[in-house]
Amino acid sequence: MRIDKLLANMGYGSRKEVKKLLKDGAVKVDGMPVKDAKFHVNVAEEEVTVYGDVVEYKEFVYLMMNKPPGVISATEDDVHETVIDLLEEEDVIFEPFPVGRLDKDTEGFLLLTNDGQLAHQLLSPKKHVPKKYYAKVEGRVTEADAEAFKKGVILDDGYETKPGELTILHEGDISEIELVITEGKFHQVKRMFEAVGKKVIYLKRTEMGPLKLDEELELGQYRELTDEELELLKG
């Protein structure tokens, strides 16, 4: 990869600013100053430094966020704050995007990456990646609802859902439940409960595929996936 592209990708400024760094002799490859912006670096084998600091090159970034309510799961929005607005500049430079969507008022596990191939695999309907949600539901959620979800329910547009696994944590006027679904239709959890005459009043995604939301993450916080998590995810 060209040295100017690498440094620009890694957040060392625009191509122009990077050119200046090179001209100033700040950049070394395996200890040798490099001034030519077109110089090719083998990122796997050569060590690049800027003013003596090693440039840790990576192509992809994988972030687990505890999405807060009130922000949109999109890269851009004219009106509302997006999940990208919550990222540090050092992560934004990788141009990550959210893998799938959570509603504006939904909280919890959101994966952000610039790895299009992985995102595609996780979102592909053929892969049936399970997603687990915790919800508070207005109305008494019963075993009859669990049975209905197991068979699949008909949503307001006539779509019949794939089986969902409903666990009732608390049955009351406001019930607490966990639901695992393997698809991601628009407002799916809310509409599944509407199909059985109930209303979701709080929704949080707690798991996606093999990964669990890190409970240490406060709302709006995020961290990179660990190597183990990434391995699990890639299968």
Give the residue numbers marked as catalytic: 103
**Minimum CB separation from ligand URA for residue 232, in Å?**
22
Tell me if 221 sits within 8 A of 65, measured CB to CB. yes
**Minimum CB separation from ligand URA for residue 106, in Å?**
3
CA atoms within 13 A on the CB side of 157: 7
Q: Which of residues 176-195 bind ligand URA (CB under 6 A)?
A: 187-190
Among 77, 103, 165, 183, binds ligand URA (CB under 6 A): 103
For ligand URA, which is the closer residue by CB, 87 or 200? Answer: 200
For ligand URA, which is the closer residue by CB, 148 or 189? Answer: 189
Among 102, 112, 137, 148, binds ligand URA (CB under 6 A): 102
Instruction: Evaluate the CA torsion angle 190, 192, 193, 195 in order and state its sign.
Output: positive
> Locate tokens 């406001």: which residue?
174
Closest CA to 47 of 55, 38, 39, 35: 55
Pairing between strand 131-138 and 27-29? unpaired
Size of the site for ligand URA (CB under 6 A): 8
Kindly state whether residue 203 participates in binding ligand URA, applying the rule CB under 6 A.
yes
Q: Of 18-26, 98-106, 117-125, 210-218, which segment contacts ligand URA by CB under 6 A?
A: 98-106
**Minimum CB separation from ligand URA for residue 201, in Å?**
12
Kindly state whether residue 113 participates in binding ligand URA, applying the rule CB under 6 A.
no
Bridge partners of 112, per DSSP, are 63, 98
Closest CA to 164 of 178, 152, 176: 152
**Minimum CB separation from ligand URA for residue 200, in Å?**
7
**Minimum CB separation from ligand URA for residue 100, in Å?**
8
CA atoms within 13 A on the CB side of 130: 14
Residues 6+ apart with CB under 8 A from 197: 139
Count of C-beta atoms within a 10 Å radius of residue 193:
26
For ligand URA, which is the closer residue by CB, 187 or 223? Answer: 187
Residues that bind ligand URA (CB under 6 A): 102-103, 106, 187-190, 203
